[in-house]
Structure 1
Amino acid sequence: MTTHYFTASSLDGFIATTDHSLDWLLKRDVDPDGPMAYQEFERTIGALAMGASTFEWVMRHDGRRWSYTQPTWVFTHRSLDVPTGADIRLTQGEIAAVHAEMVDAAGEKDVWIVGGGDLAGQFADVGLLDEVWVQYAPVTLGAGAPLLPRALDLELLDVARNRDFLCGRYRVVRD
């Protein structure tokens, strides 16, 4: 089982604008069946974690529908509207304890830290982030939510081009 942070970033290192929008990303061309594409990656995932801002963006973007079938933990300190029938668990729990629940729920599949960067960093802080996958879009934002606001040592495992995107897969190096 591997815990991944799979995300897209602007060339200047932001995953969302200052108002938490990803609209800049959706204007770019990607081959859904191409190298390091989201669809193939998502098939390997058994549980998801995300922050409240990411959850709210997904809900707005998908017209208040929930498209994931995997159990999802949303880290939040506020009340959020959860769609009926979705396996979404709002949590304020400790990262290590929640990660253990996620691993159990994922079965033989992997865990995906969807976003944001600070949440992925919190998993890294306690040694529970294994890989970082970044799809770099040919755009700069100038400001916004940083890709990963932590100092991490990474080892490059793979690179690819998927139409507009430069894709990199890294292993988190631990002492």
Structure 2
Amino acid sequence: MTRTVYYTATSLDGFIATVDHSLDWLLSRENDVDGPMGYDGFITGIGAVAMGATTYLWVREHDPDWLPEQPTWVFTHRELTPPPGADLRFTADDPARVHAAMAEAAGGRDVWVVGGGDLAGQFADRGLLDEVVVAIAPVTLGGGAPLLPRRVELEVRECARNGEFVCVRYGVRRSPAGG
């Protein structure tokens, strides 16, 4: 069954990027991609990606040769052109309008919401977010892009340490009918 998972890292004070959208603080921290809740184990279960435009542009700027390995929807209102050979779909649609296509493209694997607490929140607002997996870094940023800038009820499913990070897997609590 395809799940939609917001898999990310955050500073201790709850920011996923600095005020100027940098992820340099994250890349300087030690972790094990094969360790608990590590990237390598996670990415093998991903069949499609939902990405915010700011994250997409940061990745392309810092790694111009990067191409997604899975079909990727970049949520943006900007006019962007995909690099040759990439399975990138730029959309300004509401996540609810493209979620079924993403799940179908995932082929039974999960959909990863990457880069953008607001984008993850939009999925949550529409009842489409199933899990939040967060690696918490021992650093504070004092401001920037918030982890999840709205209220989402979660329940702890798993905790682990991976290098310098404390990792937590949360299930998204669904609101009871009528409430």
TM-score scaled to structure 2, two decimals? 0.95
- Shift of residue 80 of structure 1? 1.6
- Shift of residue 79 of structure 1? 1.1
1:18-57 equivalences under 5 Å are: 18-57=19-58
Partner SS for 2:41: helix
Q: 1: CA distance between counterparts of 2:105 and 2:130?
A: 18
Conserved in 2, the CA contact under 8 Å of 1:66 and 1:83? no
Q: 1: CA distance between counterparts of 2:113 and 2:5?
A: 6
Amino acid of the structure 1 residue aligned with 2:121: G
Q: 2: CA distance between counterparts of 1:10 and 1:162?
A: 15
Structure 1: 5+ residue stretches without partners: none
Aligned length: 174
- Shift of residue 57 of structure 1? 0.8
Conserved in 2, the CA contact under 8 Å of 1:65 and 1:83? no
1:146-165 equivalences under 5 Å are: 146-165=146-165
Residues 108-166 of structure 1: CA distance to partner in whole angstroms, max 9, x if unpaired? 11000012000000000000000000000010000000000010110000000001000
In the other structure, the counterpart of 1:93 is 93
Identity in percent: 64
In the other structure, the counterpart of 2:12 is 11
Q: 2: CA distance between counterparts of 1:79 and 1:150?
A: 27
Amino acid of the structure 1 residue aligned with 2:11: S
Aligned-residue CA RMSD (Å): 0.8
1:52-67 equivalences under 5 Å are: 52-62=53-63, 64-67=64-67
Residues 64-88 of structure 1: CA distance to partner in whole angstroms, max 9, x if unpaired? 1224210000001011232110000
- Shift of residue 29 of structure 1? 0.3
Runs of 4+ in 1 over 4 A off after TM superposition: none
Q: 1: CA distance between counterparts of 2:9 and 2:23?
A: 9
Q: 2: CA distance between counterparts of 1:149 and 1:24?
A: 20
Q: 1: CA distance between counterparts of 2:163 and 2:151?
A: 29
